[in-house]
Amino acid sequence: MLPNYKDGSILNLMSTIARATGGRTPYNPLKGIDASQIKNKTVVLIIIDGMGAEFVKKNSNGFLQKNKARDMTSVFPATTAAAVTTFATGLAPQQHGLPAFYLNMKEIGMLFEPLPFVPKIGGWISNEIKGKDLLELKPFNRFIKAKPYIVLHKQLINSEYNAVCKNYKKKAHTTLNGFFEKIKEAAKEKGNKYVYAYWGDLDMWEHETGTKSKKTINHFKQIEKGLQKLAKQLKNTTLIITADHGLTDIKQKLNINNYPKIMDCLSMPLGGEGSTAFAHVKAKKAKQFKKLVKQKLSKYCKIYSSEELINKNIYGPGKANKKLYDRTGDFTLIAKEHCTIKSFMLGQKVRFNKGHHAGLSKEEMIVPLIIIRT
């Protein structure tokens, strides 16, 4: 299932939000949701990481499902780095250039994790390298006419990645209850406001314990209960609740290190994540790599030219960020349903999560849009 960038994705939701607050992004608005349905003194966008539409349908106590306006697609890949950066900038991955958690950042010569802002191998980089310079992200609030706020965990709010929201008024929390309290606090301040709030622990539990575990379901129930309570406490506010992606449980694990001939073709470890891996291949090994993947890995994944995927606008409409070509490598491996792809670096423990994302299944790609006017 591919993203519907025309009028049915989270990218289009951001366009509708911009219009509701008096602005405009370069993209079409979300079909079936008029800006007047969102326009209010305060607009609050709440992102629950990993809360796919299928998951909500199966586990909601009724509150979220009852208030669902429609379903939407995420972006490609259906993963936090790509989708949250779309929420933070209002741009498609095609333009913002951060399609995955692990990327070859040519500017600093390493496989890098942009969100925590650390090398994949671990450790830290020079304090002289700043997120605003390396990531070059432009904030969503340039498209709106409202005072912007951001609600994030204390450990995230001042990160180099979140420099993109430097002009937002910050509200930091440390607990789920604190998360809801800070949203309420921001929403009750004077003037017209746009509040962007992100919660990440549901995704964490799904990764670690699977989408059907008691820990995952119990945490979701706490979130839904908190959202229900929050909706009763706010006035003159539109609550927009959605997700960056969903997750699915892993049934097949593909460790590229177990294929030495394929590893020999690579110029560096795989980038990307979950169900979408970026392969940087030695110039003289490209044909061999493609042949070996088709021969040895066909039951796990399909191989595509990374440049071809960009040119076909799988990352979004419009002209591509030039850095996207370097960051997605020579070939992209897209896993089949319930399969994950990894390579491991020297000294790295071989470990696979129970739940994963970044693929094209409906569980990963489809997210709910819940709208509540108070």
The structure tokens 């066909």 sit at: 298
Q: What is the pLDDT of residue 196?
A: 98
* Domains, the chain, ordered by start: 10-94+121-247+361-373 (3.40.720.10), 249-356 (3.30.1360.180)
Q: What is the pLDDT of residue 347?
A: 83
Q: How many CB atoms lie within 10 A of CB 35?
A: 17
How far is the CA of 82 from the CAs of 76, 89, 100, 235, 327, in angstroms?
7, 11, 6, 32, 12
Rounded-to-integer distance, Cα 26 and Cα 228, Å: 33
Contacts of 175 by beta carbon, 8 Å cutoff, 6+ apart: none
Rounded-to-integer distance, Cα 96 and Cα 76, Å: 12
| Sheet with 118-119: strands ordered across | 103-105, 110-113, 118-119
Q: What is the pLDDT of residue 239?
A: 98
Q: What is the pLDDT of residue 226?
A: 97
| Sheet with 68-73: strands ordered across | 68-73, 366-373, 237-242, 42-48, 193-199, 147-153, 169-173
Closest CA to 30 of 195, 240, 235, 199: 240
pTM score over 0.85: yes
Q: What is the pLDDT of residue 64?
A: 97
How far is the CA of 290 from the CAs of 148, 262, 282, 308, 330, in angstroms?
47, 9, 12, 14, 10
- Residue 188: both structure tokens together: 């009750």
How far is the CA of 130 from the CAs of 82, 134, 136, in angstroms?
20, 6, 10
Collapse the DSSP code of 262 into the 3-class scheme (helix H, G, I; strand E, B; otherwise coil) and give the result: helix
Q: What is the pLDDT of residue 205?
A: 98
Question: Averaged in consecutive runs of 10 residues, what is the pLDDT profile of the chain (374 residues)?
Answer: 97 98 95 94 97 96 95 97 98 97 94 93 86 95 96 95 94 98 96 97 97 98 97 96 97 95 96 94 96 96 97 96 96 94 89 93 97 96
Q: What is the pLDDT of residue 297?
A: 96
